[in-house]
Structure 1
Amino acid sequence: MGIAGAAFDHWRALRNRLLSSPQFQKFAVSFPLFRPVSRSRSRQLFDLLAGFAYSQILYATVKLGLIDLLKAEPLTAPAIASRLGWNEDRMERLLKAAASLKLLDVTSTGAFTLGIHGAALAGNPWIEKFITHHHLLYEDLTDPIALLKGDAGGTKLKGYWGYAGSDSKDAVGAANAEVYTALMAASQEAVAAEILAAYDFGQNRHLIDVGGSNGTFLAAAAARYPRLKMTLFDLPAVAELGRVKLADAGLGSQVGIAGGSFLTDELPRGPDVATLIRIAHDHDDDSVLRVMQNIRRMLPPDGRLILAEPLSGVPSIAPVADAYFGLYFAAMGQGRTRTLDEISALARQAGFASARALRTRMPLVTGLIQINAS
């Protein structure tokens, strides 16, 4: 343990003794210099308590279509209630709650319009798809202790993402493939923009997107690198969706399609760079190691793997990576976020030589790790 670490541990122990003391709490509220800090900390603690209520207001606002409705024009509470067939008092309760969370705002005439967060949602419609999908997670959180302990049994999210981690190429039927692929593709454009801003694929000859879903990332990459050869690899039912999407975009000649399981099937040879986008954190360590080994066998000595997903160990997104995703993956029944060191260790086990983090503009959207074959 270093001197700085020991000093911080000592300071933290002192801080905790003070904050847990009723006498100090009374003093902090009474002392003018400490009062703003005391108020701020009290609010933050209450936000932890009320967070689930906030998420339900968000869900109800999006589910009822209030973002789209008020994007068009401001409306009064009675007008909104009439359009949705609600009691006016009940509607006003929801609207005031949404306004308090800055999802909505109140105009000078008393009508409701979009707030700062509501306007951001209107500009990112893919977020709304994830919000409405979260009713499954909310049901699984009825008993969070049982969920975290592993005693919750079959969960809604586990059923929804039942294909994840399967060794079977036939694990996903066409109908189920369309459901989960549409949900993932909804946010893939934002992820693709971050990846393409952080890594230059112009230095490569042939890109394979392993677990490439319906080809949203490859379509974005093709727009920037029209001469880059590409391959999409995913389960057959998913890959077929990619074939249709990419053909419709006029990319059928630039992007090849290969169907199979990245856990059990060999990847097609030829690419010198592979992407693994929001795949590793859906799987346990053994599965991630198998995928990485599969990719390493396919790549040439100068090849690279670009891994993209939210990373643990990044202070600015710690609540998202470790609290939100921690519960989400517990409900899903597998997977976890990992630190750069944890991913690097798996990569070395798989036969890669080194790994380093690449800076992205929005770590909340995705982190990025470049893993070198040699």
Structure 2
Amino acid sequence: MLLTDWFFTRRDKLLGSPAFHQGVLRFPLTRWVARRRARELFDITAGFVYSQVLSACVQLDLFERLSAGPMTSVQLASDCAIPREGLVRLLDAAAELRLVQRWGRDAWRLGDLGAASRGSPGIAAMVRHHEFLYRDLADPLKLLQDRSQSALGEYWAYAAQPGRSEAQNAQRYSELMAQSQSFVADDVLAHCSLDSRRELLDVGGGSGVFAAEALRRFPGLRARVFDLPDVASLAAERFAREGLPARGSALGGDMFKDALPGGADVISLIRILHDHDDEPVMRLLRAARRAISPDGLLLIAEPMAETAAAPGVGAYFHLYLWAMRSGRPRSPQKIRQMLELAGFADVRERRTYQPLLVRVLTARPAAQE
């Protein structure tokens, strides 16, 4: 520990030295390191500006407007009801971020990232609701001192106040989650087969996107969604609409207060734990342990802290969930410890295509002593 402390102290002094930086820049073999570090620091400094460029593009529906092909700045300014001079400044900024690209003398078309965003419907929905987060982060110190009046917390009262069931609020939450849940479901189920399982209990399953996808993939499976009554009704509607009512059902209840329905040999918690603080999460995991069959599998899928492939995801969720007034991003190791305390064993991480969006842990009930 003393040697490690000496090393980091020495490193910090060197990195904080202007003379050291000048030397690194002048030496050809180390110049790339200094340039990369400068770029990383600039991205951190400019990150809020980047987010506002994207937000403006989404609010103006620029990506949809350009999806049919190139348009001139005059056409776009007229359609968006924005003065041409201001719109061109936005387009120039968006081009730097590869959201759009200039086409000819005075025309614009989608950039590669703008085109990709159209293939992820959840992105636009998330960006639109981020106006509440941006409002809170306008004064980050104030938010850290007192989050009781946060705008994002009011928007997400469904999550911040477990058990509060207001139809409009619950539906808003479920609709936003549903727009990106299909991508999560595809990733999770591609790496965690339920082919040999009898019944899935999707706790906090919202409007039933994950459960419905599981039913389509695994014909021998039955599924139940357990969520607040106003939300469970949306899942029942989905099962009926997609021709799955014979195998899919929905039950209304409070996962933090009511006993979970028993009998399932798979219980899923898809993007649930990180929305809640440690004490309610432990209650939920213990409830899952009581409800799951002895040969059951617990499936946890959500963004996690300490994700090497996406080093910024933890930073994002730490402040997002603070502003939401509930939850925290947890590392796989932290979730493993909580699972073991709740009576689970054989905790394993499954590979996913997009660890930025979702990582997967599975666990089995520990043998009763």
TM-score, length of structure 1 as denominator length: 0.94
Contact residue 70 and residue 109 of structure 2 kept, 8 A: yes
Identify the residue that residue 142 of structure 2 maps to in structure 1: 146
Cα distance between partner residues in 2 of 1:90 and 1:161 = 33
Residues 292-329 of structure 1: CA deviation (Å, up to 9, x unaligned): 11111111211111000011122222311x21001101
Counterpart residue number, 2:360: 368
SS at match of 2:159: coil
> Conserved in 1, the CA contact under 8 Å of 2:307 and 2:356?
no
- Judge which range, 79-88 or 251-260, deviates more: 79-88
Distance in 2, matches of 1:118 and 1:231, equals: 37
Aligned to 2:124: 128
SS in 2 for 1:276: strand
- Deviation string for 1:185-244 (max 9, x for gaps)? 111001001110110101211111000000001111111112201111100000001111
Map of 2:269 onto structure 1: 276
Q: Is the 8 A contact 1:272 1:300 kept in 2?
A: yes
1:77 corresponds to which residue?
73
Q: 2:302 aligns with which of 296, 309, 323?
A: 309
Aligned with 1:301: secondary structure? coil
2:226 paired residue number: 233
Distance 2:337 2:26 in 1: 51
Q: Residues of 2 paired with 1:152 and 1:259: CA distance?
A: 30
Segments of 5+ residues of structure 2 without an aligned counterpart are none
Task: Name the CA shift for 1:77/1:165 in 2 (closer, same or farther; >3 Å).
Answer: closer
Aligned length in residues: 366
Task: Measure the CA separation in 1 of the matches of 2:101 and 2:131.
Answer: 25
- Kindly report the root-mean-square deviation, in angstroms, between the aligned alpha carbons of the 2 structures: 1.6
CA separation in 2, counterparts of 1:167 and 1:83?
42
Paired with 1:117 and 1:166, the residues of 2 have a C-alpha distance of 36
CA distance in 1, matches of 2:281, 2:136: 25
Q: Which amino acid aligns with 1:209?
A: D
Inter-partner Cα distance in structure 1 for 2:342 and 2:10: 44
**What is the rounded CA distance, in whole Å, between the counterparts of 2:78 and 2:294 in structure 1?**
66
Q: Distance in 2 between matches of 1:127 and 1:49?
A: 22
Q: What percentage of aligned pairs have identical amino acids?
A: 42
Once the two structures are superposed, the pairs formed by residues 1-374 of structure 1 within 5 Å of their partners are 11-148=7-144, 150-164=145-159, 166-168=161-163, 171-320=164-313, 322-374=314-366
Distance of aligned partners of 1:119 and 1:313 in 2 relative to their CA distance in 1, 3 Å threshold: same
Amino acid at match of 2:276: H
Q: Give the aligned residue type for 1:237.
A: D
TM-superposed deviation, 1:108: 3.5
Deviation at 1:7, TM superposition (A): 6.7
Cα distance in 1 between the residues matched to 2:357 and 2:18: 41
Contact 2:157/2:169 (8 A) holds in 1: no
Structure 1: how far apart are the matches of 2:108 and 2:8? 45
TM-score (norm 2): 0.95
8 Å CA contact 1:230–1:256 kept in 2: the answer is: yes
> How many Å separate the matches in 2 of 1:184 and 1:278?
9
Deviation at 1:8, TM superposition (A): 6.3
Residues in 2 aligned to 1:177 and 1:60: alpha-carbon distance in whole angstroms:
27
8 Å contact kept, 1:344–1:354? no
1:118-156 deviations in Å (ceiling 9; x for gaps) = 0110111221110111001000102112323x4243111
Q: CA deviation at 1:10?
A: 5.0
User: What secondary structure, in the 3-state scheme, does the structure 2 residue paired with 1:311 have?
Assistant: coil
**Letter in structure 1 aligned against 2:134:** Y
Q: Distance in 1 between matches of 2:147 and 2:205?
A: 31
Gaps of at least 5 residues in structure 1 are: none
Distance 2:358 2:203 in 1: 17
The answer to whether the Cα contact below 8 Å between 2:147 and 2:322 also exists between their aligned partners in 1 is no
Deviation at 1:29, TM superposition (A): 3.0
Separation in 2, partners of 1:9, 1:71: 54
Distance 1:340 1:92 in 2: 45
Give distance in 2, aligned partners of 1:328 and 1:308: 18
Q: 1:32-85 CA distances to partner (integer Å, 9 max, x unpaired)? A: 433333233222211111110110001001110000001111111122112212
- What amino acid sits opposite 1:344 in the alignment? R
Q: Distance in 2 between matches of 1:359 and 1:338?
A: 17
- Once the two structures are overlaid, the 10-residue window that deviates more, 156-165 or 59-68, is 156-165
1:334 positional shift? 1.4
